[in-house]
Amino acid sequence: MGFGAARPAPRPSMLAGFLGRAAEVAAARAAGADLVVADSRRAAPAKGDLAKLRAAAADLPLGAWTPVAGAAAARELRQAGIDFLILEPESTAASVLLDDDLGYVLVLPESPDEPFLRSLESLHLEALYLSPRPWSGPLTVAAQVELSRVHLISRRPLLCEVAPDATADDLQCLRSVGVAALLVASVDGIARLKETIAALPPRRQRREERPVLSLPRGQAPAVEDDDDDDRLAR
């Protein structure tokens, strides 16, 4: 009997996350989600609920898809432990983007034109979210060309929601156009999605650098003192 060095598990080529009710975040973490997003689009969560949400997510990157009135509201979310926000450009105040310690993911319109995509260069965005609907079927060549255009012009990683039963072919096509993270709306679908991702063939390398999705990881809320300039240490 001998002992050998264990081989490290290969890193998945895409992240598998959960998008759903705050009450399901703990279950999503237990199911193996790489990141969690609380879907609170109808109403912003109360402060007490945010503390519970942060505890439920533990050390996972925690996002919120929620109405944010302005800079003060964004700061409160960050202080409560939210790592990143998913923002809809038509209804979100520009002042929300002033907090440099928050991560931001912008929801794209259905068919963003080139000037819109190029204008995103000046914004501090971690990623772009493809139109809010699950990709439930195979991509056409036209759709794949369009997504490639979005990725190449914006130079941002892409996120999207998929059905839990998305096939390996579907995911490989999405991965090839810059989709770095996939979200499912079902806790039960997380394990299945992760298995499909793990079975994907290695990514084909290209010469140009690839944008890397780097979301803030879970942090406990900072204890604030009288200094208004204190920021959350990350």
d(CA 32, CA 64): 19
Query: Mean pLDDT across the stretch 56-61?
Result: 95
pLDDT band at 11 (very low <50, low <70, confident <90, very high): confident
pLDDT band at 230 (very low <50, low <70, confident <90, very high): very low
Residue 33, Cβ neighbours under 10 Å: how many? Answer: 26
Q: Which pLDDT belongs to residue 221?
A: 60
d(CA 55, CA 120): 33
In this predicted model, what pLDDT tens digit does every residue of 115-125 receive, in sequence order?
A: 999 999 999 99
Between the two ends of the chain, the Cα-to-Cα distance in Å is 44
d(CA 160, CA 212): 15
Strands 62-65 and 103-107: unpaired
Q: Which residue has the higher pLDDT, 207 or 82?
A: 82
DSSP letter for 208, please: S
Q: Which two tokens stand for residue 18?
A: 């959960």
**Residue 30 identity (one-letter amino acid):** A
Q: Which two tokens stand for residue 191?
A: 């394990």
- Cβ pair 135, 171 in contact under 8 A: no
Q: Which pLDDT belongs to residue 205?
A: 64
- Cβ pair 113, 143 in contact under 8 A: no
In this predicted model, what pLDDT tens digit does every residue of 130-142 receive, in sequence order?
A: 987 777 677 889 9
d(CA 203, CA 172): 9
Side-chain half-sphere exposure of 19, counting CA atoms within 13 A: 23
- Best CA proximity match to 13, nearest among 155, 151, 204, 150: 204
Judged against a pLDDT cut of 50, whether residue 234 lies above it is answered with: no
Judged against a pLDDT cut of 90, whether residue 224 lies above it is answered with: no
SS3 112: coil
Residue 207, Cβ neighbours under 10 Å: how many? Answer: 4
Q: Which pLDDT belongs to residue 4?
A: 45
* Token pair 């079975």: residue: 199
Q: Which of 24-33, 38-47, 67-76, 187-196 has the lowest mean pLDDT?
A: 38-47
Query: Mean pLDDT across the stretch 153-176?
Result: 92
Q: Which pLDDT belongs to residue 231?
A: 38
- Cβ pair 155, 211 in contact under 8 A: yes
Q: Which domains does the chain have, with CATH numbers?
A: 15-198 (3.20.20.70)
Judged against a pLDDT cut of 60, whether residue 190 lies above it is answered with: yes
